[in-house]
Structure 1
Amino acid sequence: MVLGFASRVALASVLSPTWCSLSAESTCSQPSLSRQLHFRNTSKVIFRRFIIGIAFICTWNIGYAWADSLESALMPGQVIQGHAKWEEDCAKCHKRFDKAAQTRLCQDCHKDIREDIDRKQRFHGRLKEQRECNACHTDHKGRGENIAPINESTFDHRQTNFALNGIHADPRRAECKACHKPKVKYRDTPSDCLTCHKKDDYHKGIFDSKCETCHSDKAWKTSSFNHSKDTKYPLLGKHKAAKCESCHTVPVAKEKTPTTCYACHKKDDKHKGTLDRTCETCHTEKDWKDTPSFNHDKTKFPLQGKHIETKCKACHPDQRYKPTPVDCYSCHKKDDYHKSVFGEKCETCHSGKDWKTSPFDHDKDTKYLLLGKHKTAKCESCHTVPAAKEKTPTTCYACHKKDDAHKGALGRACEQCHTEKEWKDVHLFDHNKTTFPLLGKHEKVACKDCHADQRYKPTPLDCYSCHKKDDKHKGDYGEKCQVCHTDRTWKEITFDHNRDTKYSLNGKHKTTKCETCHKGHLFKEKTPTDCYACHKKDDKHNGTYGENCGDCHVEKNWKELLFDHDRHTKYPLRGKHIGLACETCHKGHLFKEKTPTDCYACHKKDDKHNGQEGKQCESCHRESSWKTVTFDHNKSRFLLRGQHGIIDCKKCHTTLLFKNISLDCIGCHEKEDVHKRRLGKQCESCHTARDWKLWDFDHNLRTKFLLDGAHKKLDCYDCHKKPMEGKVVAPTVCIGCHRRDDKHDGGLGPQCDRCHNTSSWKTIKAGSGAFRNR
């Protein structure tokens, strides 16, 4: 501002008038030489003053280091205190020649406002009209100016994220400054109850900070909290009269308050924890001392037999109830006559009814039947160690390993040769019952030729393991000798390509040499079976028809084609399609995979309807002839009835854009409407499509206004005078039509029918009382 004032003073001194300042005697009207001298002297004075003014301005500008640009030199005034640190940097808020950039620059600093606008939240985000920032907030008004004033009496708090309800909405009870503290942004004001009402918290934080769970902003002392409905813990019995603080003793939320009896009543536990913590098993909320009879049968160990008469302390010494073992052996170990030989599962043989009575049956109760010599064997003979029945082996070798005369050479399946009846009674071993029956030449082979050193298992079952030395093919045909040879005679070949492989030899393949297809003696495992793998070099199509040669060609003769479009594709050729060249539809030799099958894909250019009727051309057209149309109009939204069934399509459809046609009568028949729309647009109310002149409209049946008396003789247009849109609407009260006939000028009201009737207007009903009290 000082700079602007100095500049103006300098310019004023430069441009002040000096034309008439030479002497008192000189006048502006003197011509000639004196006037010329006056002009010359004046020009010199002006020029000197101009130079002095320019020097003054430059000196002034150099003297003030903060005026480092044209903008700072011309600044209209100081910015507010909050913007003071950017006062020298005009570009922080302004962009030359771009007024629209100012709002963006504002929001670069005020990112929270930009986020509100983007998310349409809080005050700025809910403004119906988003304006430039400087429309409401103008700066350069001085350090102490408030450029974001709020009218507390008119401000709509619903525009924020905290609508004022209840007491908050009453300005007499809740002033703005009560919630909005100095030096805290309005948007940063907390919205939870406890922040403002912490001093009012009667519970001292015991019930967490969610005041709204019980209280409302309508009345603080009115609480809608119902412990039974609002929590998962209904209050029953003695709990109904208990104070809240009795259970909620520390500042924790309701979710963390324990709901088990033991959590609160641990100090009242007379059992010292020996009966676990499920107090409700015996106690109720009605009365702590009211204990129902404990039912042992509801535990994991029902009392049966001798246990029913046993005293509790016999199993629960020192009143220690849990953990109490439920297995027999834990209590009856001292009574174990078997000294743990049969394991610890006493209940397998004994019962709680009587210890000495054993129902154990080895054949029924185990998976191992006692047969032969096993019936008379003592239990201890097999059950030699303290192990349960599950761990006792059931194989012969496990017990009779010491009796094995073969020293394990024949394996451990003793039962293949021996029986339980008598160990030495060995039945005839049948090799054919093994996984390798002896057939052909193998029947005469000595056992030791295959089972060297009497090692029977594992013995290989494949030919090659024994006959590798006999392989004349040197491994070229693999190791599956049985594919071609038999064990009856080695030289007899039984290989049949059609039977023994998945690829039958047909046509030209029958006379082809094996080596032609089986390169390097690689046969079934790696030889491809598809045509293209061998005949790729013979493909005249260069791969354009794919690799499934068998779709068109046969093995009998390569040039003989059997491709049938109807059979081999999902698109049979019909009508005009039969005579078309393949290239017409299959562009670039792309066939089944990418060729579309719908009409519209190929015939879009032929669509006279411009897509109005959709892309399902086949709904109306056929492949035999494009112009032959099979469209059934009665399947459309407009059924053809009466006269519509015989008129030419072009009468209604003047173009091929069918969906532009109106479906209501008046759309086509407006020029034939003799009523001039005075009876509305719904022609079908009276007329039919069968014959326009036949109509059966009955005013008494079809409307709510019966025609009687003089109304029967009236013409329709006497009442229906104006054109109407949609349904017919006409007044049904007398005064609606007879206002001009009212001799009373409205003095007796609009209810004419109280005195008059439709038969004769002048006939007055007796006793109508129309003039009563008048």
Structure 2
Amino acid sequence: MRRRWAIVACWLAAAGPAQAGVFETLVMPGPVAKAHADIEGECAKCHEPFRAEAQRGLCLDCHDAVAADQRERAGYHGKHPVAAKAECRSCHGEHRGRDADVAGLDRAAFDHAMSDFALEGLHATVRCAACHAAGKPFRDAGRACGDCHGDADPHRGELGRDCAKCHDAGGWAGARFDHATTDFALAGRHAEVRCGACHAGGYASTPADCGSCHLVDDAHRGRYGTRCGDCHAAAGWKEAAFDHARDTRFALAGRHAEIACEGCHASGFEKALATDCASCHRADDVHEGRHGSRCGDCHGAAAWTPARFDHDVRTKFALAGAHRGLACESCHTRPAHEQALATTCISCHRDDDAHEGQQGESCERCHVAAGWREQVRFDHDLARFPLLGMHAVTACESCHTTAAHRGTATACSDCHRDDDAHGGAFGARCESCHNPNAWAAWRFDHAVQAHFALEGAHAELACASCHQPASEGGALRAIATDCGSCHEADDRHQGDLGRDCGRCHGQADWRDVRVR
């Protein structure tokens, strides 16, 4: 027998696909079921030669809904431990004739819990056909309550299709409903009322405001609006409450809590009163309106006195340093506290100004509130004379002999005339040669500052060779820059050719003669 099948296999391998298809048809064990009849001649749709393990994948290629259930672990084929892993043929046989039951479903033994809808309560007693329509796959039956019970809904869809929010599978009559889920909890007397007393024309559209039900009971005739709950509780009308702070935005504190309602509401409660202090206390205002109507900024509800006043906040002038220790009357003199004062320093300290107004009126640029001599600061660099070198360590009084600092001259000679070793011979601009670090740190460019460049033989001469001191030990004198002023005694031409020797001679040597 084995030899015979080996011969057949060799024949198939040599024959090619066409002969193989004919052979498979010849050896087919029987007709396929009606559902597969259209592919009966296409064996490759369900089989691969000599690979029985490939059959499950081929089944799922066509039955994609079952494949999806297995991927998502849903439905019977995705949840059942055997169906999710076993070969399809282990439950679904084929080639047993056109009328064979491929599904092989034993309805009596089927565990509905393995589907996506467990049968509980009355559902377990219902015939399959009541939910699963004939001619349609079982998996296509709807699972929402309304899919089966839509026509039986006495609420006519007003409460939605999720019947399970109130009902369970045990029966319609055993309904439960948490009224608090409607944003209207049944408390007090409301819990004793029949549903129909409020829900006369349905459920979903019933308003939840008090006035919708109790307008006919309103003893106030609508004067206080429809929010009965602001004063009344669900326990009963007579259990009324009124929170003055909450309901009027005016808390009764201090003396206000001791006053009878009529003390303020003289004409009744129908009209809301103003909540500003002056509307009731205008006649009590000893300031006669000069401080406005916001009495609470200084006074408390307990009594007019003692009063509080935050000078820093109310006047935009913080009391700091020496100001904090002053009596109010030191500044507020006419009359005390009633007239707002200017907040500039000079408005109070003009008589204290040692600078006699020369530094302007912004005292705070240099002084602090702790005291005139405390932490005095001044950025001299912002003045016309920045402090550099030795000037930066010099006491202010060395240059500023009076408190009126402005107007002090800034020329070097204004302070250093007595220090001038040159006796004024070089003018008043000491900075042309000297810098603020020290007198000895000087520089002198003869070409720039004397307008006479030292070239040739001149460059090697000592200063005193040309500049004789004005006196013993005194400064050198400035001299003329023409050649004759120094070389008149050297002139071999005895003045016949003028004093401009440079027309013919160079500065390196007299013998360096050029003739033009």
Out of 477, 482, 491, the position equivalent to 2:238 is: 491
Out of 182, 188, 198, the position equivalent to 1:450 is: 198
Contact 1:531 1:548 in 2 (8 A): yes
Say if 2:499 is the partner of 1:752: no
Map 1:116-127 to 2 at 5 A.
none
Q: 1:401 to 1:514 in 2, by over 3 A?
A: farther
**Alignment partner of 1:666: what SS?**
helix
| Letter of the structure 1 residue corresponding to residue 214 of structure 2 | H
How many residue pairs were aligned? Answer: 366
**Shift of residue 739 of structure 1?**
5.9
Out of 570, 587, 590, the position equivalent to 2:316 is: 570
548-557 or 700-709, which deviates more: 700-709
Q: Which residue of 1 aligns with 2:226?
A: 479
**Alignment partner of 1:491: what SS?**
strand
Q: Which residue of 1 aligns with 2:98?
A: none
Q: Which residue of 2 aligns with 1:589?
A: 338
Contact 1:436 1:461 in 2 (8 A): yes
Residue by residue over 1:179-208, the C-alpha shift from the partner in whole angstroms, topping out at 9 and shown as x without a partner, is xxxxxxxxxxxxxxxxxxxxxxxxxxxxxx
| Letter of the structure 2 residue corresponding to residue 529 of structure 1 | T
Say if 2:344 is the partner of 1:598: yes
**Alignment partner of 1:465: what SS?**
helix
**Shift of residue 532 of structure 1?**
2.0
Map 1:607-686 to 2 at 5 A.
612-623=358-369, 630-632=376-378, 634=380, 636-637=382-383, 638-639=386-387, 642=390, 649=397, 652-653=400-401, 656=404, 658-670=405-417, 673-684=420-431
Residue by residue over 1:279-328, the C-alpha shift from the partner in whole angstroms, topping out at 9 and shown as x without a partner, is xxxxxxxxxxxxxxxxxxxxxxxxxxxxxxxxxxxxxxxxxxxxxxxxxx
Contact 2:253 2:302 in 1 (8 A): yes
Contact 1:644 1:689 in 2 (8 A): no
Q: Which residue of 1 aligns with 2:57?
A: none
Q: Which residue of 2 aligns with 1:133?
A: none
Q: Which residue of 2 aligns with 1:540?
A: 286
**Alignment partner of 2:461: what SS?**
helix
Contact 2:367 2:375 in 1 (8 A): yes
Residue by residue over 1:522-543, the C-alpha shift from the partner in whole angstroms, topping out at 9 and shown as x without a partner, is 48x9443322222122212121
The normalised TM-score by structure 1 is 0.38
Contact 1:552 1:563 in 2 (8 A): yes
Query: Which segments of 5 or more consecutive residues in structure 2 lack a partner in the other structure?
Result: 1-63, 66-115, 118-129, 137-143, 470-474
Q: Which residue of 1 aligns with 2:183?
A: 435
Out of 695, 708, 720, the position equivalent to 2:440 is: 695
The normalised TM-score by structure 2 is 0.54
Q: 1:743 to 1:667 in 2, by over 3 A?
A: farther
Map 1:245-284 to 2 at 5 A.
none
Say if 2:285 is the partner of 1:553: no
Q: 1:448 to 1:647 in 2, by over 3 A?
A: closer
Map 1:505-544 to 2 at 5 A.
505-518=252-265, 522=269, 526-544=272-290
**Alignment partner of 2:239: what SS?**
coil
Identical amino acids, percent of aligned pairs: 30
| Distance of 2:425 and 2:504 partners within structure 1 | 25
Relative contact order, CA 8 A, sep 6+: which one is greater?
2
Q: 1:596 to 1:477 in 2, by over 3 A?
A: same
Residue by residue over 1:542-596, the C-alpha shift from the partner in whole angstroms, topping out at 9 and shown as x without a partner, is 21011110121111111321224246443123536723526448899354xxx53
Map 1:65-464 to 2 at 5 A.
403=151, 406=154, 411=158, 413-415=160-162, 428-452=176-200, 454-464=201-211
Q: Which residue of 1 aligns with 2:122?
A: none
| Distance of 1:467 and 1:616 partners within structure 2 | 71
Q: 1:585 to 1:632 in 2, by over 3 A?
A: farther
| Letter of the structure 2 residue corresponding to residue 528 of structure 1 | A
Contact 2:317 2:343 in 1 (8 A): yes
Query: Which segments of 5 or more consecutive residues in structure 1 lack a partner in the other structure?
Result: 1-357, 360-370, 380-394, 724-729, 757-763
**Alignment partner of 1:660: what SS?**
coil
| Letter of the structure 1 residue corresponding to residue 184 of structure 2 | F
| Distance of 2:281 and 2:134 partners within structure 1 | 76
| Letter of the structure 2 residue corresponding to residue 615 of structure 1 | E
**Alignment partner of 1:753: what SS?**
coil
- What's the C-alpha RMSD, in Å, of the aligned pairs? 5.4
| Distance of 2:413 and 2:346 partners within structure 1 | 35
Q: 1:711 to 1:747 in 2, by over 3 A?
A: closer
Q: Which residue of 2 aligns with 1:321?
A: none
Q: 1:515 to 1:738 in 2, by over 3 A?
A: same
Q: Which residue of 2 aligns with 1:34?
A: none
Q: 1:737 to 1:580 in 2, by over 3 A?
A: farther
Contact 1:599 1:618 in 2 (8 A): yes
Q: Which residue of 2 aligns with 1:33?
A: none
Q: 1:590 to 1:468 in 2, by over 3 A?
A: farther
**Alignment partner of 1:492: what SS?**
strand
| Distance of 2:344 and 2:376 partners within structure 1 | 18
| Distance of 1:679 and 1:375 partners within structure 2 | 123
| Letter of the structure 1 residue corresponding to residue 195 of structure 2 | C
Q: 1:407 to 1:709 in 2, by over 3 A?
A: closer
Q: 1:441 to 1:633 in 2, by over 3 A?
A: closer
Out of 679, 694, 711, the position equivalent to 2:462 is: 711
